[in-house]
Amino acid sequence: MKYEFGAEKPERFRQYWPGQYDFFSYMEYACGIPQVLFAITTRKADGKPNINFHSWSCFQGDKGGFYAILAGLCQHTHTYENIKRDGEFCVNFLSKRYYDALLQTVEHNEPDVDEFTVGGFAEEAAKTVSVPRIGESFLTLECKCGRLEDLSGAGLTAMAIGRVTHMAMAEDYAKGFDDQKYSENGFFYLIHTPKDLETGEGNHMGIATLCPEIKE
């Protein structure tokens, strides 16, 4: 047996907070697809550094370039306004040991706040953009934004496509398959509140790391 769903949200899918199914499609919760977590850095209008703890994205390219495709930027955020204004950002990958520090930047993100200070992060100069890198990041992608568009046309989320102009990788993460990238000290993932498809219940979020089992 397979559970089959169409475009409309099933009635049994309970809403746990107002607007939950406005900002996220019900299918995201139904699918339960893990998404890599990272921090987007930009600068606010007054020049203070901004951090956006983020997911909902992919990284892909061909001989024409490598791209960070940020598909779930909320249009009411500083990050969206900063990218729209300045056309650049950095994608910073950190290990799960920084999870609590990144949450601090979510909880204290007022316009006049330096979010590097809030999270206790070191500001590192980028090579090709004017926004800062997070010094503790094991991998940073510096990006120039070429496209910024409304994802669904509803005025809620946006998709930013940034061409990677430079990357920086920590030495312990630069050895290929057998390094720290694919361990509890490397990439970590958001498991975004997967639902029980029979009952529609489910309000638990999770964090996961990789444990490679097959190497070819």
Structural domain includes residue 66: yes
Which helix (H) or strand (E) covers residue 78, if one does? Answer: helix 78-86
Q: Tell me which residue range forms the domain holding 163.
A: 36-191
- Round to whole Å and give the CA distance between 19 and 173: 39
CATH number assigned to the domain comprising residue 91: 2.30.110.10
pLDDT digits (tens, 9 = 90+) for 5-45: 999 999 999 999 998 999 889 998 999 999 999 999 999 99
The model's confidence at residue 216, banded by pLDDT at 50, 70 and 90, is confident
Residue 177, pLDDT > 90, answer no
Structural domain includes residue 25: no
- Specify the DSSP class assigned to residue 152: S
Structural domain includes residue 22: no
Q: What is Dmax (Cα atoms) for the chain?
A: 56
Structural domain includes residue 7: no
Cα torsion 39, 43, 44, 45 to 10°: value is: -160
Give the model's pLDDT for residue 213. Answer: 86
Say how many domains are in the chain.
Answer: 1
CA 70 vs CA 32, 36, 191, 199, 211: distances in Å: 18, 11, 17, 31, 25
pLDDT digits (tens, 9 = 90+) for 130-164: 999 999 999 999 999 999 999 999 999 999 999 99
pLDDT digits (tens, 9 = 90+) for 85-131: 999 999 999 999 999 999 999 999 888 999 999 999 999 999 999 99
Residue 190, pLDDT > 90, answer yes
Structural domain includes residue 212: no
Structural domain includes residue 23: no
Mean pLDDT of the chain: 95
Q: 63-68: which pairs have CB atoms within 8 A and are 24 or more residues apart? A: 65/163, 65/164, 66/141, 66/163, 66/164, 67/161, 67/162, 67/163, 67/164, 68/141, 68/143, 68/160, 68/161, 68/162, 68/164
Percent of the chain with pLDDT over 70: 100
Residue 212, pLDDT > 90, answer no
Structure tokens at 92: 């910073």
Residue 46, pLDDT > 90, answer yes
Give the model's pLDDT for residue 105. Answer: 95
Give the model's pLDDT for residue 215. Answer: 80
Structural domain includes residue 30: no
The number of angstroms, rounded, from the C-alpha of 110 to the middle of its chain's C-alpha atoms is 19
Give the model's pLDDT for residue 202. Answer: 93
- Among left, alpha and beta (phi > 0; psi -120 to 50; other), residue 47 is left
The number of angstroms, rounded, from the C-alpha of 18 to the middle of its chain's C-alpha atoms is 22
Q: Which of 72-76, 133-137, 208-212 has the highest mean pLDDT?
A: 133-137
Structural domain includes residue 88: yes
Reduced to 3 states (helix: H, G, I; strand: E, B; else coil), residue 54 is strand
- Round to whole Å and give the CA distance between 52 and 69: 15
Mean pLDDT of 68-92: 96
Percent of the chain with pLDDT over 90: 90
